[in-house]
Amino acid sequence: MPKSWQDEVKEILDRAEASAPPPKRRVVRAPQPNRRRRNYVELLGRWIMSRVSTTGEMLVTAAVLVVVALFLSIFLRQFASIVAVAGAVVFAAALVRGIMERRSARSPGSRGSPVMWRGRVIELPDQRPSLRQRLRDVLRRRR
């Protein structure tokens, strides 16, 4: 009576396990005393870049700086003013960045990649008309 294919696969796997060499032991090395030092400036730069990578992150960072300045004002007034100014600068930068992103997203042809739908490229009309066009429409409605 012929074997089923499941039995043949089990038999092949059993033979492969029996003939396989035993797994090698992994050697765990103790930490070396001459280990390379961390570059703290690079780590600080990465942390700062992560805090200002998006407009939302910039706003959160600015809010945290202002709250920290509020608590620091109890003990270290001069340092608190520096932190508050830094928070205000980050907030202003986030505001400008948000305005520029919004403005660049509205301009025609600024999209990096075409809009795809069901595998075909489609052209979308401008979602929001310009301020001039909206004012013109309002004036036309009033006549």
Question: Within its chain, how far is the Cα of 76 from the centroid?
Answer: 34
Give the integer Cα–Cα distance in Å for 68 and 48: 17
- Torsion from C-alpha of 89, 92, 97, 99, nearest 10 degrees: -170
Looking at residue 100, its pLDDT comes to 81
Looking at residue 11, its pLDDT comes to 85
pTM attached to this predicted model: 0.44
> Does residue 75 have a pLDDT over 60?
yes
Q: What is the pLDDT of residues 77-129, one digit of tens each?
A: 888 888 888 888 888 888 888 888 777 765 544 555 667 777 787 776 656 67
Top mean-pLDDT range of 23-32, 105-114, 130-139: 130-139
The 10 Å CB-count burial string (b at 16+, else e) for 106-143 is: eeeeeeeeeeeeeeeeeeeeeeeeeeeeeeeeeeeeee
- The CA–CA distances, whole Å, from 31 to 39, 40, 43, 87, 94 equal 18, 20, 21, 41, 43
**C-beta neighbour count of 77 within 10 angstroms:** 10
Domain parsing of the chain, residue ranges: 47-105
